[in-house]
Amino acid sequence: MVAQQVNEVASPQPGRTGSGRARKGSKSKEQTGIAYLFLSPWIAGAVLLTIGPMVASLYLSFTDYNLFTAPEWVGLDNYIRLFTQDDRFMSSVGVTFQYVFLSAPLKLAAALGVALLLNRPRKGQGFYRSAFYAPSLLGASVGIALVWRSLFTDDGAVDSLLSSVGINTGGWINQPDYAMYVIVILAVWQFGAPMVIFLAGLKQIPQDLYDAAAVDGASTWKTFTSVTLPMLSPVIFFNLVMEIIQSFQSFTGAFVVSNGQGGPADSTLFYTLYLYQRGFQDFQMGYASAMAWLLLLTIALFTGLVFKTSGRWVFYAGEDK
């Protein structure tokens, strides 16, 4: 009798097994439905606010559309005009590349340098971290850009300070040779966000590695290049990708500093600013859509290049290279 009961427990009836699987499958479907229910606001937002407008802009990029009449299909004419008939487009591309190649590395270098300083125990460390992070919260605002413009304009604080030591520039934002640097400095000043990420990465480097380097007699520079940078390379990689994407999309600083014109002499005509002028001042929405898609492809290309080269300079724990 006991043996029979043991066999029944060890070998459940086929009907009971099928019923258990059915209940399990029903519970799994119920959980999946609940998951989609909670995800539905995000899915609706992604479809209506991101994917839908992207598909619409892709269609409009092949049309002549001015917001007031129906779009007229023109094929590749907008893209051909960009490269063959529009000198300001090529100028905006050059200005944007100059800005990206200047601001991204300088901003990351400033963020890493300050993070190294703040990583050392010191009195008032929390205050310093907050003080250096604050500009990243304010720098993208129109108000800060207006303040920046007043600082570097003719007879502004910076111009007056330089004039007092015999350097007369006549205002940085009025000079084609200096106007770009005003916006680059504004971007570098906002190094707080990558600084915090660098600081978190520095905290994760094992102290044993620094102790071993000290025992081997490594200098400070050798320790930085052989321990800190390799161990921090995944964080550098992340920050580099994010800065490249953000730099290509920069708009507010150039718009406010140049009064929306991209001057003087198109020296601050960023790609996004020229796209805005074409789309919302000239009402050439098809043309602006083509520019937007070229910008997307450019960002994807540069991001892909960084990912492609990351295998040579990004190191992960436990990875042999």
| Averaged pLDDT, 235-245 | 95
pLDDT at 18: 63
Handedness of CA 102, 104, 109, 111 (dihedral sign): positive
The secondary structure element, H or E, covering residue 63 is strand 63-64
Categorize the per-residue pLDDT at 320 as very low, low, confident or very high, splitting at 50, 70 and 90. Answer: low
Do residues 134 and 191 touch, judged by C-beta distance below 8 A? Answer: no
Region 32-54: mean pLDDT is 92
Determine the Cα–Cα distance for residues 164 and 65; give it in Å rounded to an integer: 53
pLDDT of residue 164 exceeding 80, the answer is yes
Q: Is 190 exposed, middle or buried (0-12, 13-18, 19+ CB in 10 A)?
A: buried
**Residue 103 in this model has a pLDDT that exceeds 80:** yes
Please tell me which residue, 165 or 103, carries the higher pLDDT value.
103
- pLDDT band at residue 126, thresholds of 50, 70 and 90? confident
* Highest mean predicted confidence (pLDDT) among 103-107, 120-124, 130-134, 190-194: 103-107
CA–CA dist 253, 183 (Å, integer): 6
Q: Encode pLDDT of 278-293 as tens digits.
A: 999 999 999 999 999 9
**CA–CA distance, 260 with 13 (Å, rounded to integer):** 78
Average pLDDT over every residue of 88-96: 95
Does 173 score more than 70 pLDDT?
A: yes
Can you tell me whether residue 177 is helix, strand or coil?
coil
> Which of these ranges, 100-104, 244-248, 315-319, has the smallest mean pLDDT?
315-319
Q: pLDDT value at position 11?
A: 52
- Cβ contact 241:194 at 8 Å: no
**How confident is the model at residue 72, as a pLDDT?**
95
Mean pLDDT of 293-316: 94
pLDDT at 8 over 70: no
- Average pLDDT score, the chain: 87
The span from the CA of 31 to the CA of 84, in Å, is 56
**Gap between the Cα atoms of 205 and 216, Å rounded:** 18
| pLDDT score of 9 | 46
* pLDDT at site 90: 93
* pLDDT value of residue 211: 92
What pLDDT score does 82 carry?
Answer: 94
Sign, CA torsion 131/145/194/99: negative
